[in-house]
Amino acid sequence: MSHVVSRPSFLAARKGWAVGLVAAMIGLSLAASPAIAQNAAPAAAPANAAPPSAPASTPAAPPAGADAAATPPAADAPADAAPDTRGLDQEVQGLKKDVVDLNRDLFVLEEELLFPANTQVAVFLSMDVGDFFALDSVQLKIDQKEVINYLYTPREVEALLRGGVHRLYLGNLKVGKHELVAFFSGKGPNDRDYKRGANLSFEKGIGAKYLELKINDRQRKQQPEFEIKDWE
C-alpha cells in the first residue's frame, strides 16, 4: 500500500521540477535574446551594411556577391567546365563595369541636382613647397558666415605638397557680389603658431564659380604667402 501513497508525491515533485526548469529556460531565453541579437547583429551587419556604402564611397569596389559567385565554380568545377566559367567571368567583369559606370553617372547627376551650374561655387586649396608653413586648418567664411572649418592631417598635407588640390567647399550662391574670407592656421617659421587671413570680393555670375586658395613660400621674406585666385 505504501507505494500507492508515495507515487502521487513523487509525481508532484517531478512536476514541480519540470515546471521550474521550463520556466527558468523560458526566462533565460527571453532575457538572453536581446543580448544575442545585439551581439549577433554586428557580425551579420557588414554583409548588410556594405552594399549601400560601397557604391558611394568606393566606386571601383566590386559587389561582394559577384566575387563569391565567380570563385566557387572555378575552384570546384571539373576541367571540362572551364570554358563555361571563363564566360561567366567575362559576364561578371561586364557587370562590374556597368556598376562603375552607373555609379559615375549617379554621382554626376547628384552633383548637377544639388549644385546646379548657375549657382555652384567651389573652393579649392593648393600648396606649394611649404617650407615656411605647416598647414593645420582652414576656416572659410562666405558673406560673414562660416561654411567650413577643415582640419588637415599630416597625410593630407603631404598629398597637397606633392601637388594635390583639395576641394575644400562646394556650395550654392546666388548671382551678385560676395565676399570670401579664409583663415589659415598652422606652424609658421621657427615652428611658431601662425594664423593668417586672406579675403576676396567676387562677382557671382551665371555659371559655376571656381576659387583657389593658394599657399606659397615667399623666399625673399622667408614667410608664407596666402592668396585667393578667381578662376574665370
Partner 1 sequence: MRLQRPKGPVLRRVCLWWRCVSTALAVLIALVAGTASLAQPTYFLLGHEAPDFALRAVAGSNVRLSEHRGDVVVLSFWSSRCSPCRTQLAALDKSLATYRSAGLQMYGINVDDDQTRAIEFAHGGQTVNFALLLDPAKAVSRRYEVDNLPMTLLIDRNGIVRYVLRDYSAKSDDLYLQQLRTLLNE
Whose Cβ is closer to partner 1: residue 27's or residue 72's? 27
Residues 153-172 touching partner 1, rule: CB under 8 A, are 153-156
Q: Examine residue 13 and tell whether it contacts partner 1 (CB under 8 A).
A: yes
Whose Cβ is closer to partner 1: residue 50's or residue 181's? 50
Query: CA separation (Å) from 63 to 42, 43, 60, 203?
Result: 20, 19, 9, 45
User: Which residue in 124, 150, 210, 226 binds partner 1 (CB under 8 A)?
Assistant: 150
Residue partners of 97: CB distance under 8 A and separation at least 6: none
Which triple of cell numbers denotes residue 89? Answer: 567571368
Q: Examine residue 31 and tell whether it contacts partner 1 (CB under 8 A).
A: yes
User: Which residue in 66, 69, 96, 136 binds partner 1 (CB under 8 A)?
Assistant: 136
Which residues sit at the interface with partner 1, rule CB under 8 A? 1-2, 4-6, 8-10, 12-13, 15-17, 19-21, 23-24, 26-28, 30-32, 34-35, 37-39, 41-46, 48-50, 53, 136-137, 150-156
